Each structure stands twice: as C-alpha cells, then as structure tokens.
Chain A
C-alpha cells in the first residue's frame, strides 16, 4: 500500500500545471522528432537538455522522459507511412507496417501502433512501480553467459520460423553478422574487416544506416518496380468512426503481439546494454514464432506492428530502471538523462530510491501521465499523416529518397554513411528480387555486436569450457530452448528430404 500512496503523490506532482504542460509539450516534440527519419529520441533529448535548466529537476526529467516517450510513438509513423524507419527502435515496425500501408490500411497500422504503444507503456509502468528494486537485482544477475543465451534465443526465433526459406534466412543472418563484425574488436581492440582499407569501415556499420538503406531506399525501388510507373493511388480517408473501427480491429488482430511485446520488451529493456531496439526486434521474432499464421508476418498483420511497438515503449520504460537504480544507462538516451541528473544534483544509483523519493515517484507518476498524453496526441495527428499518403507515388518517391539521405546524414554526419545507404538500398532491392528475407540481417547487425563479446567473455570466464551456457541457472534453460528452436526446422527439413 505504501507504493500506491507514493505513486499517488508522484502522479499529483506530475499533474501540477507546469509539469503537465511540460509533458504535453515534450510528448508533442518527441512525436515529431521520432517521426523524422534519422532523428530519434537521442537527438531530441540532447537538443532539448538546455531548456530543462529553466525548471526544477523533477520537471526537467519529466520533460525529457516525455520527449523519450513521444519519440517512441513517433518512430512508427514514418516506418508505416513512408517505409523509412523513423528511429532504430521502429525498424521492426516497418516489417508489417509498410505492407499494411501499401494495402491501403495505413490507418489500421497507425492506430495499432498507437494502441500497442499505449498498452506496452502501461504494462511496463505497472511492472516498474511494483517491482523496481527487485528487478534491479534481476538485471544484475544477467552476466555475459545469460545475455549471450538471450541473444541466441533471439536468433533462434528468426531461424525457427516455419514458412520462410530456412537456408535463405540463415544466409541473411550470417550476412548481418559479418556486417556487424566490421570495425574494432571489443575484446582485443584490433581492427577487423576494414574493406579496401577505407577508414570509414573502422567505425563499424551503423544499424540505422543499414536500416535506412534497406527499408528507405530498397523499399522505394521495390515499389517503383512493382508499380511499373503506374500511379498507385491510395485514398484512405479518416473519420472518427473509422478510427474507432480500426482500434477495435487492432485489438482483435493485434492483442497477441501487444501482449508479447509488452512483457518481453520490458525485460529486455531492463538489461543493461540492450535497450529498445533489440527489444522490438526480439518481440517481433517471438510473436511471429508463437503465431498460428507465421506466414502473415511480413505481409501486413496487425500483430507484426503491435509486437515491436508495444515492446519499444515497454523497453524504454524498462531501460530507465538500470539508469535509476544502478546509475548505468541501458540505452544512449538514458545516458544523456543520466548526465542531466548528475548536474541537477541527483546521484543515480542504489541509494536514489531511498534518498530522493519525491523525485523518483514524480518521474514514475509522469510515465503514466505521459503515456496517456502520448496516445491521445498521437491519435489526434493520425489523419494528418494519412493525408500525406494521398500524395501520388511519383511525388512521394523523391521525398523518400531525400529523407533517407538526409536522415542517414543527420544520424552520423558522415558522408561515408550516405554511400553505404545507397549501396545497401541497391543490394536490398536485388536480394529481395531473389526472395531473400532481409529482416534477419537487420536483426543480426543489432544483436551480433551484443552476442559476440558476451560469448567471448563467457568463454574467458569458463576458460574455454562451453558448458558455462548450460550449467548456470538462468542461462541454462534459455540456451536449451534456443538450441531446440534452432534445430527444430533442420529436423523438419531432413524428414521432408527423406520423404521426397
């Protein structure tokens, strides 16, 4: 009961006129920053940090958290309407969001994204409120072997999907892993795979660069080829009644994805080093694996939009947890929040919940309020985004191209990355013509750089003995499940081979 009264106080603090205004302004700004390709919550929070010194610390962090929240909602918008991931956290949203939009169901996709985000955020808030200190110790019990086991499970969900061509999926994963290995080796510090001795490769290939290339440029080329110059006219119209119908359809066809994303997203989010991007990709994979119709994924199913969107909101709340309780940022955005907290005179760490009750609960209370504000503001803007889609594709295509290039440059400010985006775009188009699935490559480039060092750290811990993945109480079961999922389709393949 103490928690409820603390939470009540926190919500009252968040509802004070100044704080409420900060939430509404923050969420709105976040929504637009998130919707701009290349600009994610990191940029938003970094750019707006200065204004937070005008208000007291609790108001400041509430404002930044509201931007963070808004950006998580906003990322889905360009993923769905343009097929360019608005932020790295929304890449998985393009997998099904874009196909839905092409079928003239953009409004369903956008409403699903908003509703799933809201539910994901709410579930995460409840977990956070009830179990924060306990979960901090769960996060700590995840050492390198546990994190590697989890990554293995994530890969397994992508390999073990019935329906897709398995050899092609494996090829796609390996291709992503190789791209992810470019740059410096974390363990030895030595440079690897510096192709043609170009210095740009030393910094590794940014995930967003690959995603914008594959989904922005690649998707645009694909659409051009599919429509063969014919003008596609999508004429979705938005009415309040239509939106209500979409909302109920999104719940009916997306509840499963929402549920998986909400829970899984939170737990991946609280692990240090993970964050919202791996959370959304993993939730997509798990939702597809557990689905009765996995073939619908990638062709436009509300579940496929709901899972990553619920997960990225849930994970962004989750990643606040290691930041507040351990003083260790779970994502780039929380690293900036952490810097802000230090200057506001707050020491993040195990003592924060004890020493700064009002601040902590004010922040948690604001999560709830921000979430409500974000879903309402997002729903209110959906007709505007839909209206954009009514432009003929001949106008939209150059816009997508420009936004992809500008977005890629904004993220890293390096010309080299722009060439990569173009090359990836062309490569993706070619691979897609030959029916190679691209999502696994995208997953691999995100998870590979987490999986590889944790694998090597684990083996160093055990002096090279791989049984470390099976004997530890948390890592063991996860590894076993992952291996079963990986080898299940191989067995099926073998059996089919015998019969033929």
Chain B
C-alpha cells in the first residue's frame, strides 16, 4: 500500500501549497472571502474574455488576498446578473463586469426595478469598438459591396448578434436605417457564439468586438468591412470608419467594473485601488492595444456622471429602435 500513502502525502503537500497564506497588500479593508466576480454576459464573448484576463493579472501579481471567482450570468441580456448583484447578502464581496446592457437592460425591463445609480463605481477599464465582419468565402471586401448584397436578398440576409436591444443590434439598427437594408437577425447567448457561427458560416455577417473576431481574422477567415470607432483602429489600419464614409456614427461598448449596491466605502476604496493597479499593469495596457480597446479612465464621480449620460443616449437609441 505504499503507493496510496505516497499519494496521500502528495495530496497533503499540494494542499499546503494551495492554502498557504498569501502576502497581502496593506489596506484598511480586505476581502475575507472569495470575491464574487460576476460577468454580465456568456462565456467566450468580449466581457468574458476581459473578466478572465483581469482575474489572471490579479492572480499573477497576487493583488488580492482572496481569489476573484468569475461566474457568467448572462441571462436576459444581463438582467440575471443585475438582479443577482442587487440581491446579494454580502455586497462587499460582489463585483460585476459590465457592458452597455448595464444601461439598456434596466431601460428595457423597467419591471426589474433596477436603478443603476445605486451600484458602486469601481473602474472604467476601457471602451471596446465594434467592427462589421463577413466570412472570407462571401467574397465581399467593401461596405458598398456588402450593402448591395444585403439589398439584393430582400431580408433573407442572416446576421447573428447577442439579442435585440443589445449593443450589436443597436449598430445593426443604425445601418438598416442609414442604408435602407433589412436583415434576418438571430440572437445568440454571447459574442463568442456569434463569432463561432460566422466562422462556420451558419450566419453571413456579424458586428463583433475585435477581441472576439481576432483569432479568425488572423487565420484569414474573417474580413473586416467597417469600424464603428471615431478613428481608424491601429490594429486594422486599412479598415475605414463609418465617419470617414460620411456617417456621423460611432458606438463603443463599455468595459467597466462596478460594485454591488450597498457596498461599504472601505470596500469600494479597496476595489478602486485594486483595479487602478490592474489598469496600470503592463499586461492590461498591452491588452488594450492588441485588442483595439480605447482607454477612457474615469474616477468614481465621473463614472456616475457617465452612467447618467449613457442612460439618456441609450434611451434615445432604443426609442429609435422601436423598443
């Protein structure tokens, strides 16, 4: 039975490694339990990738004395996570990775009773642009060609996205209006699934964040047609922006971390310091660049003001969508 004993010993050693106390950053308040790191979207999409990346950076430099535990709660365009975070018994250990559904979902589902101003600002990690992608096999290489193709199909052109009222659908609604086109829009549970089904040519085009489409772009499967950013994206220098083409439109997805409503000021200060540290890390700065995110750093008060203006902007956008 020596094998068994050795096995037990090894398990014990491993347990020691795992549960050994970690050096902590000096701070007034510190987490006492694993931190609930809820993600407002499904696995594989932009928000999910960012959350996992942030977790890895925090782990790598031992920035937290308790682990961040990411959980995807993307149901109901993020309503699931908003309800979860608003109703937790321990707001000091609950933070949320948000996207623009942070603004749109409470507007579209007023019966949820979510007031986003009750949430606690933590950090604005950057804003993520959108790009229109088609599969290389479609042979389409320019926006004009794309518009012509879509118009020629009388509403049978299939696009995938993360759901009506979601970020990509707002962009698609804008294009439908501006170019007088009609598409058949299929909702998926996350940007990752959308990109996958474009790669498999189950759908014909998507409006994805660069991070979601990058792998397929590098493999030569995806062709970017137009970027919905203010300026050309450094990683895609040949892709024109909507503005260049004469349309006054740009749209970004916020990549922000917020705390649960009712979080204590001490805990908020802890997370703000933590995410400032992550934001300033070499890894995050490199990520912003490689994934084409734009920096948009704000302090807590600026974030609250930003939320207020974004709610109004999205109220108008959704009204235009007929929601």
Report which A residues bind B (CB closer than 8 A).
Answer: 24-25, 28-29, 32, 46-51, 53, 139-144, 183-191, 199, 202-204, 272-273, 322, 326-329, 332, 335-336, 338-340, 342-343, 347-351, 376-377, 380-381, 383-384, 413, 415, 453, 457, 460-461, 463
Give the nearest-CB partner of B89 in chain A.
Answer: A415
Report which B residues bind A (CB closer than 8 A).
Answer: 3-4, 7, 10-11, 13-15, 17-18, 22, 36, 43-44, 48-49, 51-53, 55-57, 59-60, 62, 67, 69-70, 72-73, 75-77, 79-80, 83-84, 87, 89, 105, 108-109, 112, 156, 158, 163-165, 184-189, 192-193, 195-197, 199-202, 214-216, 218-219, 221, 283
Q: Is the CB of B215 within 8 A of A203?
A: no
Q: Among the listed B62, B83, B108, which residue makes an inter-chain contact with A202, where contact means beta carbons less than 8 Å apart?
A: B83
Give the nearest-CB partner of A137 in chain B.
Answer: B200
Q: Among the listed B10, B43, B214, which residue makes an inter-chain contact with A335, where contact means beta carbons less than 8 Å apart?
A: B43
Q: Is the CB of A328 within 8 A of B83?
A: no
**4 A-B pairs with least C-beta separation:** A349-B215, A339-B52, A184-B76, A140-B200
Instruction: Please give, as numbers and ranges, the residues of chain A lying within 8 Å of B10 by CB-CB distance.
Output: 24-25, 28
B112 to chain A, nearest CB (A): 8
A15 to B191, CA, bound (A): 38
Instruction: Please give, as numbers and ranges, the residues of chain A lying within 8 Å of B13 by CB-CB distance.
Output: 25
Instruction: Please give, as numbers and ranges, the residues of chain B lying within 8 Å of A203 by CB-CB distance.
Output: 73, 75, 80, 83-84
List 14 extra interface pairs beyond A49-B55, A342-B49, CB under 8 A: A24-B10, A25-B13, A29-B15, A142-B200, A143-B197, A187-B187, A191-B79, A191-B109, A199-B87, A338-B49, A342-B53, A350-B221, A351-B219, A461-B184
Q: Is the CB of A342 within 8 A of B14?
A: no
B186 to chain A, nearest CB (A): 5
Instruction: Please give, as numbers and ranges, the residues of chain A lying within 8 Å of B22 by CB-CB distance.
Output: 50
Q: Is the CB of A328 within 8 A of B75?
A: no
Q: Among the listed B55, B186, B199, which residue makes an inter-chain contact with A461, where contact means beta carbons less than 8 Å apart?
A: B186
Q: A184-B80, A202-B83, A328-B196 are in contact. Are A457 and B11 (CB under 8 A)?
A: no
Q: A47-B67, A460-B184 are in contact. Are A28 and B196 (CB under 8 A)?
A: no
Q: Is the CB of A348 within 8 A of B215?
A: yes
A144 to B62, CA, bound (A): 41
Can you name 5 A-B residue pairings with CB atoms under 8 Å?
A: A28-B11, A327-B44, A336-B70, A460-B184, A463-B156
A384 to B8, CA, bound (A): 11
Instruction: Please give, as numbers and ranges, the residues of chain B lying within 8 Å of A328 by CB-CB distance.
Output: 44, 192-193, 195-196
Q: Is the CB of B215 within 8 A of A189?
A: no
A25 to B8, CA, bound (A): 10
Q: Among the listed B60, B83, B193, B283, which residue makes an inter-chain contact with A199, where contact means beta carbons less than 8 Å apart?
A: B83
B98 to chain A, nearest CB (A): 16
Give the nearest-CB partner of B283 in chain A.
Answer: A343
Please indicate which of the listed interface residues B158, B187, B193 has the most CB atoms of chain A within 10 Å of its own CB.
B187
A186 to B190, CA, bound (A): 10
B146 to chain A, nearest CB (A): 20
B20 to chain A, nearest CB (A): 10
Q: Is the CB of A343 within 8 A of B158?
A: no
Instruction: Please give, as numbers and ranges, the residues of chain A lying within 8 Å of B196 by CB-CB distance.
Output: 140, 272, 322, 326, 328
Q: Among the listed A29, A190, A326, A327, which residue makes an inter-chain contact with B76, where contact means beta carbons less than 8 Å apart?
A: A190
Q: Is the CB of A343 within 8 A of B57?
A: yes
Please indicate which of the listed interface residues B11, B165, B185 has the most CB atoms of chain A within 10 Å of its own CB.
B11
B80 to chain A, nearest CB (A): 6
Instruction: Please give, as numbers and ranges, the residues of chain B lying within 8 Å of A53 by CB-CB distance.
Output: 59-60
Q: Is the CB of B219 within 8 A of A46?
A: no
Give the nearest-CB partner of B57 in chain A.
Answer: A343
Give the nearest-CB partner of A140 in chain B.
Answer: B200
B229 to chain A, nearest CB (A): 22
A187 to B164, CA, bound (A): 8
Q: Is the CB of A25 within 8 A of B56?
A: no
A32 to B164, CA, bound (A): 44
Q: Among the listed A326, A339, A381, which residue makes an inter-chain contact with B55, where contact means beta carbons less than 8 Å apart?
A: A339
Q: Is the CB of B219 within 8 A of A350?
A: yes
Instruction: Please give, as numbers and ranges, the residues of chain A lying within 8 Å of B11 by CB-CB distance.
Output: 25, 28-29, 32
A461 to B159, CA, bound (A): 9
Instruction: Please give, as numbers and ranges, the residues of chain B lying within 8 Å of A350 by CB-CB distance.
Output: 215-216, 218-219, 221
Q: Is the CB of A326 within 8 A of B199?
A: yes
Instruction: Please give, as numbers and ranges, the residues of chain A lying within 8 Å of B73 by CB-CB distance.
Output: 203
Give the nearest-CB partner of A340 in chain B.
Answer: B56
Q: Is the CB of B43 within 8 A of A189?
A: no
Instruction: Please give, as numbers and ranges, the residues of chain A lying within 8 Å of B193 by CB-CB distance.
Output: 272-273, 328
Q: Is the CB of B44 within 8 A of A329?
A: yes
A43 to chain B, nearest CB (A): 8
Q: Is the CB of B218 within 8 A of A349?
A: yes
Instruction: Please give, as numbers and ranges, the residues of chain A lying within 8 Å of B189 by CB-CB distance.
Output: 186, 453
A335 to B44, CA, bound (A): 7
Q: Is the CB of B187 within 8 A of A186?
A: yes
A53 to chain B, nearest CB (A): 5
A20 to chain B, nearest CB (A): 12
Please indicate which of the listed interface residues A51, A202, A332, A340 has the most CB atoms of chain B within 10 Å of its own CB.
A202
Please indicate which of the listed interface residues B70, B83, B215, B221 has the most CB atoms of chain A within 10 Å of its own CB.
B215
Q: Is the CB of B53 within 8 A of A339?
A: yes
A189 to B80, CA, bound (A): 10
Q: Is the CB of B186 within 8 A of A460?
A: yes
A186 to B51, CA, bound (A): 21
Instruction: Please give, as numbers and ranges, the residues of chain B lying within 8 Å of A186 by CB-CB distance.
Output: 75, 163, 187, 189
Q: Among the listed A189, A351, A460, which residue makes an inter-chain contact with B109, where contact means beta carbons less than 8 Å apart?
A: A189
Q: Is the CB of B7 within 8 A of A377?
A: yes
Q: A49-B59, A184-B76, A413-B36 are in contact. Are A349 and B53 (CB under 8 A)?
A: no
Instruction: Please give, as numbers and ranges, the residues of chain A lying within 8 Å of B67 by CB-CB distance.
Output: 46-47, 49-50
B38 to chain A, nearest CB (A): 11
A48 to B34, CA, bound (A): 13
Give the nearest-CB partner of B104 in chain A.
Answer: A189
A141 to B52, CA, bound (A): 27
Q: A25-B14, A186-B75 are in contact. Are A380 and B3 (CB under 8 A)?
A: yes
A272 to B194, CA, bound (A): 12
Q: Is the CB of A351 within 8 A of B218?
A: yes
Q: Is the CB of A143 within 8 A of B202?
A: yes
A351 to B77, CA, bound (A): 31
Q: Is the CB of B44 within 8 A of A189?
A: no
A347 to B216, CA, bound (A): 11
A323 to chain B, nearest CB (A): 9
A140 to B221, CA, bound (A): 12
Q: Is the CB of A189 within 8 A of B108?
A: yes
A463 to B219, CA, bound (A): 32
A221 to B201, CA, bound (A): 51
Q: Is the CB of A202 within 8 A of B18?
A: no
Instruction: Please give, as numbers and ranges, the residues of chain A lying within 8 Å of B165 by CB-CB distance.
Output: 189
A377 to chain B, nearest CB (A): 6
Q: Is the CB of A51 within 8 A of B18?
A: yes
Q: Is the CB of A184 within 8 A of B186?
A: no
Instruction: Please give, as numbers and ranges, the residues of chain B lying within 8 Å of A141 by CB-CB distance.
Output: 200
Instruction: Please give, as numbers and ranges, the residues of chain A lying within 8 Å of B89 by CB-CB distance.
Output: 415
Q: Is the CB of B215 within 8 A of A327?
A: yes
B158 to chain A, nearest CB (A): 6
A204 to B84, CA, bound (A): 11
Q: Is the CB of A184 within 8 A of B4?
A: no
B308 to chain A, nearest CB (A): 23
